[in-house]
Amino acid sequence: MNKEKIINELEKKGYKNIFIWSDSKGTYYDWHSHPYNEIRYMLKGKMKINTKNKSIVLNPGDIAEVNAGELHEAYILEDCEYICAQKH
């Protein structure tokens, strides 16, 4: 996966504050929400995101978007690297 190409595509779609993040297996992000739409584009590893209505497991190449104000939590199932982006 070409990180630069992915970032360029996200910028064309109006995403801002784009950065690459990594987490270690076992990291947990407790229930929270954001004032903006949030996207995760998995580059390596595995992550599970739960909302009140669904559960998503992300593998390399997968994308998930959580809407502004939507409560969610995340479990890092394998060491991972992913692209984060926001849309207001």
pLDDT at position 87, please?
Answer: 95
Q: What pLDDT is attached to residue 17?
A: 96
pLDDT digits (tens, 9 = 90+) for 71-82: 999 999 999 999
Residue 43's pLDDT is: 97
Which residue range is the domain that position 61 belongs to? Answer: 3-87
Q: Which parts of the chain sit beneath pLDDT 70?
A: none
Secondary structure string (H, E, C) spanning the chain: CCHHHHHHHHHHCCCEEEEEEEECCCCEEEEECCCCEEEEEEEEEEEEEEECCCEEEECCCCEEEECCCCCEEEEEEEEEEEEEEEEC
Q: Record the pTM.
A: 0.91
- For residue 10, the domain's CATH number is 2.60.120.10
For the chain, how many structural domains are there in total? 1
Residue 53: what pLDDT? 92
